[in-house]
Structure 1
């Protein structure tokens, strides 16, 4: 039988051993590398996430990330078009350095990507959904990706074992593949990088049956700038304007037109460029019957099964019939409003399925004790126009295209419910993930890790301007080549190639970017400051007029 002193001694040893073990466990937990779940949709406008704006749609599952983590109000892209944006994300380098300047050029596979680096560092890696370029992505242990744009219904997937067609709706399927990998194929002894990439809400916006039945009955508020005429310069801004150092250097005279050439010549106007068949889901026979002549982009429902098509026609045939009856009495304003409503019904209907499926993945992480040590990011490959300035699509550095949604959560590391106003970009993802994994980023990466900012470290972020450059012209939608920088207060853009025009906007006082103050004498000092900062930023990121000329030559030689 133990005596009193022996008992105390034994208890003391037990407490000490337990304490040491507990400290070791805590230390191990602190140093355990986090899992990374990168969620990205294609063309998902921040205006269509209720954490940013609840006027169009409610997205409770995506909003969970803002409630449990951080929401960024000044996140942007470096090049607002699908494949180049993805190349920037993977490489951490601007388009002019990674070489993927447009959707047409091939991705240079000698680029080192952050998934490759994480894989070499011991991470298990997987990608499901839309990559947009390359059939054999480097740095992934497993992948099932859509070829090119992919299809909404019964999509084909590229896999390591060859192509396969999976019946169903694409957003649901991508999520099924993702959860299956987490449940059945993941090595539970390794940290993982999971890239969960949706096709939706990319054009031509085909919702799932459960959503088009609901959303085709909805009506949405019109954007204030739906009927924009692209006038950007006001006469009073020119009267007192006089040459300064900037205008002399760049040989800038007063503008030939009060309208923005780039804005008025872009081919993305809902009235004149949105296609009634492919985009608005009218049948080709309906359009021909009404004598309407337009470009035919094909039948977007051609991959549906008989059952899927029958369900679709049951809802969309009455829409065709109603349009037939109303069209003869419609003027351009009426037609614009009708096309806008049809656009929003289908676009937002596809987002409803994205939000549902994001919820499925978040629930899986919660239910399987993975949330605590997992960084979850939700973003889009760029912003998108939802009727602002009369437009759909993206490509411009104007706000709705340039700005992208960004929500990040990491329990116990990122304070829940915070909002960040700092200037961040998709350029920063690669270094952020490498930093979180404790892996050194290559010197050629040009972004900055968001972790110090997310952890609330003082003076963690000193970037005051972000850089943008768009190259794909002449091409689809006819958005002219341009580059520029944005600060929290101002944005300056230079349109070049077949024009030589400058635009400057006061982001605080003119958030809709309707007033180009480049020639306004009240903004002369701002213009000088922004041109100088643009020159410095171009040099910082190793971009130049010489590179512009090289890319133009390569593009013209194709």
Structure 2
């Protein structure tokens, strides 16, 4: 669809410079601004995929300020989110932990307190930073207003099935687009800076997320009307039926397809939606220009680091899909730029940087120690010339929200390979050689030449899913099951680390192999809302005396989904 370029990073060593300001009298300042702790502005966009950026080679979009940040800073061409959905991704950024660990998704009632207690805003505030937040928070947490000293948390309003969903905030009595409001709040925060301590400002734009309740989907500011007005957007890549037909039924019948119908199923919708998506990103770009101008006016530009990232990617009609959620690069890869004016050098870096690395990088820049439980790493070693991050040859990718219309998936990526499978139907697997097939179109799962690679990546996925699961998601134990007279009775115990149960799922299969594939050919309960650690159910098709195998997983007291138990036979 577009022309992209990829720049392979060369090892670049940067030596940090200290500038002393000398004066003749005894009252001379000892240290100049460049030797103070830096200010940090973190900008998170909503649904901006990696190539929705001029610097990435996109010749259609207008992002001069983002491009300038990339040209003057460190640009991570292969940055990814560990989970391609806003709620889990934002929880991962706050906590520097995988979804596999924090277990927060749209079903969960709240983010676990222990993971918020050492979140990046708390640690920066405790280190003396003035902290601020404006925009979409996206994570359920009762004390979210206490995380930042100054904040205003808001997002699109779904109760308005039209442009009002984006136009309800006011400046000086006039309703303005949320992008404009967020930019103005950022400038006021900077103007109010007293200079007595460094600041950390988080800006989480709602754009370019579509406004789902509205037929028009995308709403941009009037300044964007002229952009692409006389341009015909080329059709999406992989638009042929065969790429859609290759998807498992849960994808073909799920939200990725439903939202394709909202946005891309006619040429007119496609032109409107892609142009709207690009125009909304350009609106954020204009606000970045205003923010940088305000930094210059306040004399803060030389000591303020700007980090820009997307919370997940987006399908723009590829494979006849919309939305994100799946583990293709369309939804996993995002833009990531770290602009540090003190360094004065540009870097193009192709390391596998992750969203969980951003908070670790902010703490490193601020001189704050990273908590032992954090799973992200600081990106500064890469910016200082390291070839890669420690133990970062393989990364886990996952989308665990168990929702009927979005099939959960998990897998791993290396620089060369990507493997993933669908959690509820692990027989659906995909394997791609990314060096030879960047578009991810040639699935090598059934190719015998790659059996060893497939087995290795399966094993790595299994290992990482266990390594990165916390004790709170431990599986039930002491399983007991028996059957008779057309019914099956089950009991189990919860580990002490699981505080309670809100629901369970039991899978009953005729063989260990089917059970391993989550194929409940005898019975699959689905999610059953229950607090009791027992179940008694009629099981159709299960003959008396038949050998059978079962396993169970539960949702905890905050409705966070845990792991499957070990398999258990059922007695007669």
Q: Would the TM-score normalized by the shorter structure come out above 0.5?
A: yes
3-state SS in 2 of match to 1:229: helix
Higher relative contact order (CA 8 A, sep 6+): 1
1:139 aligns with 2:147: yes
| Matching of residue 183 in structure 1 with residue 191 in structure 2 | yes
Structure with more helix by fraction: 1
Alpha-carbon separation, structure 1, partners of 2:254 and 2:395: 24
Match of 2:397 in 1: 468
Name the structure where strand makes up a greater proportion of residues: 2
Deviations 1:303-322 (A, max 9, x none): xxxxxxxxxxxxxxxxxxxx
- Post-superposition offset of 1:462: 4.3
In structure 2, relative to structure 1, the CA distance for the partners of 1:368 and 1:24 (3 Å cut) is same
Offset of residue 99 of structure 1: 2.9
Equivalent-residue separation in structure 2 for 1:479 and 1:209 (angstroms): 34
What is aligned with 1:47? 51
Shift of 1:374: 1.6
Query: For residue 337 of structure 1, what is the aligned residue in structure 2?
Result: 267
Match of 2:12 in 1: none
Q: Distance in 1 between matches of 2:232 and 2:110?
A: 41
2:186 counterpart SS class: helix
Match of 1:289 in 2: none
Structure 2 counterpart of 1:371 = 301
Aligned to 1:540: 467
- Could you tell me whether the CA contact under 8 Å between 1:130 and 1:149 is conserved in 2? no
Residue number in structure 2 paired with 1:240: none
Cα gap change, 1:142 to 1:461, in 2 (>3 Å): same
Q: TM-score, normalised by structure 2?
A: 0.72
Are 1:390 and 2:320 matched, yes or no?
A: yes
Distance 1:496 1:190 in 2: 47
Give the alignment of 1:26-425 within 5 angstroms.
29-30=34-35, 32-102=36-106, 105-110=109-114, 111-112=116-117, 113-134=119-140, 136-147=144-155, 152-156=165-169, 167-184=175-192, 186-204=193-211, 205-212=218-225, 214-215=227-228, 217-230=230-243, 260-269=248-257, 273-274=259-260, 336-413=266-343, 415-416=345-346, 418-425=347-354
Which of 499, 504, 513 in structure 2 is aligned with 1:553? 504
Q: CA offsets, 1:384-413, max 9 Å, x none?
A: 111211222100111110111101110233
The superposition leaves residues 40-68 of structure 1 with CA deviations (integer Å, 9 ceiling, x where unpaired) of 11111222211113233121111111111
**Cα deviation 1:153-202 (Å, max 9, x = unaligned):** 43259xxxxxx996212111111111011102x23111110001111101
Q: 1:508, CA displacement in angstroms?
A: 1.2
Partners of 1:231 and 1:259 within 8 A in 2? yes
Q: Is 1:439 aligned to residue 368 of structure 2? A: yes
Count of equivalent residues: 450
How big is the shift at 1:20? 10
For the residues of structure 1 that align with 2:320 and 2:475, how far apart are their CA atoms? Answer: 30
TM-score by length of 1: 0.73
Cα displacement string for residues 512-552 of structure 1 (whole angstroms, at most 9, x for unaligned residues): 11121112111122112222322333343236997588998
CA contact (8 A) 1:216 1:346 kept: no
Corresponding residue SS for 2:402? coil
User: Hey, what's the Cα distance between the residues in 2 that align with 1:339 and 1:396?
Assistant: 22
**SS where residue 485 of structure 1 aligns?**
strand
CA distance in 2 between partners of 1:266 and 1:493 (Å): 18
Contact 2:307/2:339 (CA < 8 Å) preserved in 1? yes
SS at match of 1:522: helix
8 Å Cα contact 1:155/1:166 also seen in 2? no
Q: Which runs of 5+ in 1 are unaligned?
A: 1-14, 158-163, 233-257, 281-334
Tell me the C-alpha RMSD between the 2 structures: 3.2
Which deviates further from its counterpart, 442-451 or 102-111? 102-111
- 2:16 maps to none
SS in 2 for 1:37: strand
C-alpha contact (below 8 Å) 2:49/2:330 kept by paired residues: yes
Q: 1:406 and 1:454 mapped to 2: Cα distance? A: 13
**2: distance between equivalents of 1:426 and 1:44?**
13
Query: Structure 2: 5+ residue runs without aligned partners?
Result: 1-20, 159-163, 212-217, 477-500, 506-526, 530-558, 560-572
